[in-house]
Chain A
Amino acid sequence: MQIGFYFDQTRCIGCSACVIACKDWHDIPAGPEKWIRILYNEKGKFPDVFVSYMINPCYHCINPVCMPVCPVGAITKRIEDGIVIVDSKKCLGNEECNSKCLKACPYNAPQFGSEKGAKMRKCNYCVDRHLKNQLPVCIESCRTRALDAGPLEELKKKYGHITKADNFVYSKTTKPAIVFKPKIK
Chain B
Amino acid sequence: MDDKKNLQKNDEIRIIRSSTAFDCGGRCPLRFHVKEGKIVHIEGDDYENKDEQLRTCLRCRAYRQYIYHSKRLKYPLKRDGPKGSGKFKRISWEEALTEIAERLKEVKEKYGNSSIFLATGGAYQGALHDGMFAMMRLLTQFGGYSTHYGNVSSEGAVYATQTQYVSPFVGHSRKDLLNSKLIIMWGWDPARMISGTDTIFNLIKVKEKGIKIICIDPRYTDSAVVLADKWIPIIPGTDTAMMIAMAYVMITENLHDQNFLDKYTIGFDKFKNYVLGKEDGIPKTPQWAEKITSVPVEIIISLAREYANTKPAALMDCQGPARSAVGELYNRCAMTLTAMTGNVGKNGGSAAGGLMGIPYGHMFFASRIPPPYRNPVEVGLKSVRGSLDLQLRFQARCHTNKIFDAILKGKDGGYPFDVKFAWFVNNNFLNQLGNTNKSAEALKKLNYMVVSDLWLTPTARYADIILPVTSAAERNDLLRPWPSGPYFTYMNQAIEPIGECKSDLRIAEELADKLGLEAFEKYPDEPDALKFLIKLREDTRKNIRNINKFREEGIHRLELVEPYVAFKEQIEDIENKPFNTPSGKIEIFSQRIADLNDPENPPIPKYMERWEGRFDALSKKYPLQLLSPHPKSRVHSEMYLVEWLKEIDPHVAWINPINAKPRKIKNGDEILVYNDRGKLTIKAWLTERIIPGVISIFEGAWYEPDENGIDKGGCVNVLTKDAYSPGGASALNSCLVEVRKFNGGM
Q: Residues of A at under 8 Å CB distance from B? A: 10-17, 19-21, 23-25, 27, 29-31, 42, 44-47, 49, 51-53, 128, 132, 134, 137, 140-145
Contacts of B647 in A (CB 8 A): 30-31
B204 contacts A11, CB within 8 Å?
yes
Minimum C-beta distance from A31 to chain B (A)? 8
B191 contacts the other chain (CB 8 A) = yes
Is B174's CB within 8 Å of the partner chain A? no
Closest A residue to B690 by beta carbon equals A46
Q: What are 13 sample pairs from A and B whose C-beta atoms fall under 8 A apart?
A: A10-B226, A12-B226, A20-B58, A24-B41, A24-B644, A29-B643, A30-B643, A30-B644, A42-B687, A42-B688, A49-B688, A49-B689, A142-B55
Establish whether residues B61 and A20, one from each chain, have CB atoms under 8 Å apart when the complex forms: yes
- B661 contacts the other chain (Cβ, under 8 Å)? no
Flag if A144 contacts B688 (CB, 8 Å).
Answer: no
Chain A residues whose C-beta falls within 8 Å of the C-beta of B225 in the assembled complex: 13-14, 51-53
CB-CB under 8 A from A42, the residues of chain B are 687-689
Complex CA distance for A13 and B51, rounded to whole angstroms: 17
Partner of B43, one of A132, A137, A143: A137
* B512 sits at the interface (CB 8 A): no
Considering the complex, which residues of chain B in the window 164-212 have a beta carbon less than 8 Å from any beta carbon of chain A?
A: 191-192, 200-201, 204
Minimum distance in angstroms from A45 CB to a CB of chain B: 6
- Which residues of chain A are within 8 angstroms of B5 by Cβ–Cβ distance? 132, 134
Q: Scoring B residues 622 to 644 as 1 if CB is less than 8 Å from chain A, else 0, what string do you get?
A: 00000000001000000000011
Contact B44 A20 (CB under 8 A): no
Task: Please indicate the chain B residues that have their CB under 8 angstroms from the CB of A132 in the complex.
Answer: 5, 8-9
B645 part of interface (Cβ distance < 8 Å): yes
Distance in angstroms from A147 CB to nearest chain B CB is 11
Q: Is the CB of B658 within 8 A of A144?
A: no
Partner of A14, one of B42, B222, B656: B222
Q: Give complex CA distance A27, B35 in Å.
A: 14
Smallest CB gap from A43: residue in B: B688
For A29, what are the chain B residues with a Cβ–Cβ distance below 8 Å? Answer: 643
Q: What residue of chain B has the Cβ atom nearest to residue A10's Cβ? A: B226
**Closest 10 pairs (CB-CB, A-B):** A30-B643, A13-B191, A20-B61, A17-B58, A46-B688, A51-B225, A16-B648, A13-B222, A143-B55, A49-B688
Binary interface profile of B, 547-575, with partner A (CB < 8 Å = 1, else 0)?
00000000000000000000000000000
Give the complex CA separation of A141 and B8 in angstroms.
20
Residues on the B chain within 8 Å of A44, using CB: 688
> Do the beta carbons of B632 and A46 come within 8 Å of each other?
no
Say whether A16 contacts B58, CB under 8 Å.
Answer: yes
What residue in chain B is nearest A135 (Cβ atoms)? B50
Q: Give complex CA distance A144, B87 in Å.
A: 45
How many Å lie between the Cα of A17 and that of B194 in the bound state?
Answer: 13
B674 at the interface (CB under 8 A from A): no
* Complex contact B61–A51 (CB within 8 A): no
Chain A residues with CB below 8 A from B8, complex form: 132
- The answer to whether B515 has its CB under 8 Å from any CB of chain A is no
- Inter-chain contacts of B43 with A (CB < 8 A): 137, 140
The CA-CA distance from A95 to B382 in the complex, in Å, is 75
B233 contacts the other chain (CB 8 A): yes
A46 and B62 contacting across the interface, CB-CB below 8 Å: no
Contact of A15 among B58, B644, B646 (CB under 8 A): B58
In the complex, residue of chain B having the shortest beta-carbon distance to the beta carbon of A145:
B201
CB pair A141 B687 closer than 8 Å:
no
Within 8 A of A (CB), among B54-91: 55-58, 61-62, 64-65
Chain B 1-21: CB-based contact to A (< 8 A → 1; otherwise 0): 000010011000000000000
Judge whether A49 and B200 touch: CB under 8 Å. no
Binding site for A on B (CB under 8 A): 5, 8-9, 40-44, 50-51, 55-58, 61-62, 64-65, 191-192, 200-201, 204, 220, 222-223, 225-226, 231, 233, 632, 643-649, 656, 658, 687-692
Inter-chain contact total with CB atoms closer than 8 Å = 105
Instruction: Decide if B688 touches A15 in the complex (CB within 8 Å).
Output: no
Write out the residue numbers on chain B whose beta carbons fall within 8 Å of the beta carbon of A49: 220, 231, 688-689
* CB-defined contacts of A25 to chain B, threshold 8 Å: 41
**A20's contact among B9, B223, B644, B656, by CB below 8 Å, is which?**
B644
- Bound complex: CA A23 to CA B40 (Å): 12
Is B9 a contact of A128 with CB atoms below 8 Å? yes
Complex partner residue of A21 from B61, B222, B643, B649, CB under 8 angstroms: B61
Please, how many angstroms separate the alpha-carbon atoms of A20 and B60 in the complex? 9
In the complex where A46-B691, A137-B43, A144-B204 touch, is A19 in contact with B55 (Cβ < 8 A)?
no
Q: A17 to B644, Cβ gap below 8 A?
A: no
Which residues on A sit within 8 Å (CB–CB) of B61? Answer: 17, 20-21, 24, 141
Contacts of A13 in B (CB 8 A): 191, 200, 222-223, 225-226
Q: Which one of B191, B226, B643, B691 has the greatest number of beta carbons of chain A within 10 Å?
A: B226
Q: Report the separation of the CA atoms of residues A61 and B222 in the bound assembly, to the nearest whole angstrom.
A: 30
- CB <8 Å contact, A51 and B689: yes
Chain A residue nearest in CB terms to B658: A46
| Pair B656/A19 contact, Cβ less than 8 Å | no
Per the bound structure, the CA–CA distance linking A10 and B203 in Å amounts to 13
Chain B: CB-nearest residue to A47: B233
Known: A19-B58, A47-B233, A51-B225. A144 touches B44 (CB 8 A): no
In the complex, the answer to whether A20 meets B55 with C-beta atoms within 8 Å is no
- A17 B226 Cβ-Cβ under 8 A: no
Taking the closest CB of chain A, its distance from the CB of B27, in whole angstroms, is 14
By a CB distance below 8 angstroms, the chain B residues around A12 are 226
* With contact pairs A13-B222, A15-B191 given, residues A141 and B689 touching in the complex (Cβ less than 8 Å): no
**Cα distance, A49 to B218, chains bound together (Å):** 13
Complex Cα distance, B693 from A47, in Å, reads: 13
Instruction: Report chain A residues within 8 Å CB of B55.
Output: 17, 141-143
Measured between alpha carbons, how far is A20 from B61 in the docked complex, in Å? 6
CA distance A29 to B656 in the complex (A): 34
- Determine whether the beta carbon of B220 is less than 8 Å from that of A143: no
Give A46 to B659 CA distance when docked, in angstroms. Answer: 12
- The 8 Å CB contact of B644, one of A23, A134, A140, A144, is A23
Given A44-B688, A132-B5: A141 touches B44 (CB 8 Å cut-off): yes
Choose one: B226, B231, B649; the contact of A47 (CB below 8 Å).
B231
Bound Cα distance A42, B654 (Å): 13
A44 vs B62: C-alpha distance in the bound complex, in angstroms? 34
Identity of the chain B residue whose Cβ is nearest the Cβ of A19 in the assembled complex? B648
A14 to B632, CA, bound (A): 10
Residue among A24, A31, A46, A51 making CB contact with B64, cutoff 8 Å: A24
In Å, the complex CA distance between A51 and B219 comes to: 12
Please name all residues of chain A whose beta carbon is closer than 8 Å to the beta carbon of B632 when the two chains form the complex.
15
B65: min CB distance to chain A, Å: 8
Chain A residues with CB under 8 Å of B687's CB are 42
Given the complex of chains A and B, what is the CA–CA distance between A159 and B710 in angstroms? 53
Please report the C-alpha to C-alpha distance between residue A20 and residue B690 in the assembled complex, in whole angstroms: 27
Q: What is the distance, in angstroms, from B49's C-beta to the closest C-beta of chain A?
A: 12
Nearest CB on A from B296, distance (A)? 10
Which among A20, A27, A140, A143 is the interface contact of B645 at CB below 8 angstroms?
Answer: A20
CA distance A27 to B44 in the complex (A): 17
Q: B201 touching A144 by the CB < 8 A rule?
A: yes
Q: Taking each of A11, A13, A17, A19, which has the highest tally of chain B beta carbons within 10 Å of its own beta carbon?
A: A13
Contact call B692/A46, Cβ cutoff below 8 A: yes
The minimal Cβ–Cβ distance linking B667 to chain A, given in whole angstroms, is: 11
The CA-CA distance from A124 to B140 in the complex, in Å, is 57
Check if B222 sits within 8 Å of A145, measured CB to CB: no
How far, in whole Å, are A131 and B200 apart by their CA atoms in the complex? 32
Min C-beta distance of B64 to chain A, whole Å: 6
A128 to B691, CA, bound (A): 47
Most buried by B among A16, A20, A21: A20
A185 to chain B, nearest CB (A): 12
A83–B616 alpha-carbon span in the complex (Å):
61
